Amino acid sequence: MHGYANPARFLKIARPLTPWLLWPGLLLVLAGSYGGLFVTPPDYLQGDAARILYIHVPTAWLGMAGWGGIAAASLSQIVWRHPLAAVAGRAVAAPGALFAGLCLATGSIWGRPTWGTWWEWDGRLTSMLILFFLYLAYIGLAAAERERGGDGRMAAIFGLVGAVNLPIIHYSVLWWRTLHQGQSISLSGGSEIASSMIWPLPMTLGGFTLLFAAAVLMRMRAELSRARVEARMRRAAA
């Protein structure tokens, strides 16, 4: 990883990689969303309300994966002192918060016709709401440290501590009696969703993941460019 610690070397790869992530991701999201909304049959129990899964599942995955990225960047900063780790953590935070918020919003929309309520203090919903607040706290802490000229160590420690919530989210449907349905798709490839309905989901999952990665790269590039401009201004003022 330290081979990419040099910002110039990182930017040499990130610049051409960004559009290769952005445009295929956008196409996959559009194709998967079209298939999920207009091609797949309605669910036999939930009807058309179940179509929101093509957005809800990717947002849930990326909301959790985003904090996983923050934890990895935090570990890299604390243990290996990677020069770009703090930049990566800050870059992941905003897209992660966005997807966590979208997960909560789409879950509420899905829950209204399914459970008869917009919100329930359910184990999965509550732990996901905590994750959203953790994102907001991390963004605020990282911004405050950056304004004071700190190295981001406090934000990195917070990023590692906040990762404790990830297994709680994952196992919440097993640990507590919950309205939220259990795991429908296993890591081994098994699925309780009919094949006629599930095929657009890998497209939206892959598409949103590519868009997430593109957003992170763009934010990292913007922050590195801003740091370079600030450094030039300080040299000019000296």
What are the pLDDT digits (tens) for 111-153? 888 888 888 888 889 999 999 999 999 999 999 998 888 888 9
What are the pLDDT digits (tens) for 76-96? 999 988 889 999 999 999 999
Higher-confidence residue: 122 or 182? 122
Average pLDDT over residues 37-65: 91
Is the pLDDT at 193 greater than 80? The verdict is no
Q: Give dist(CA 58, CA 63) in Å, integer.
A: 8
Query: Which pairs count as long-range contacts for 40-48, CB under 8 Å and 24+ apart, including other chains?
Result: 40/196, 40/197, 40/199, 40/200, 41/196, 41/197, 43/197, 46/113, 46/114, 47/113
| SS3 category, 35 | helix
Is the pLDDT at 183 greater than 70? The verdict is no
Is the pLDDT at 30 greater than 60? The verdict is yes
Is the pLDDT at 70 greater than 90? The verdict is yes
Q: What is the pLDDT of residue 185?
A: 60
Q: What is the pLDDT of residue 173?
A: 73
Predicted confidence band of residue 179 (pLDDT cuts 50, 70, 90): low
Higher-confidence residue: 216 or 185? 216
Q: What is the pLDDT of residue 91?
A: 97
Is the pLDDT at 2 greater than 60? The verdict is no
- Highest-pLDDT range among 4-13, 40-49, 217-226: 217-226
> By C-alpha distance, which of 109, 129, 153 is closest to 63?
129
CA torsion 216-220-221-224 (nearest 10°) is 170
Residue 196's contacts (CB-CB under 8 Å, 6 or more residues apart) are 40, 41
- 199-216 burial, b at 16+ Cβ within 10 Å, e below that, comes to ebbebbbbbbbbbbbbbb
Is the pLDDT at 189 greater than 60? The verdict is no
Considering the chain, what is the average pLDDT of its residues?
A: 88
Average pLDDT over residues 7-32: 94
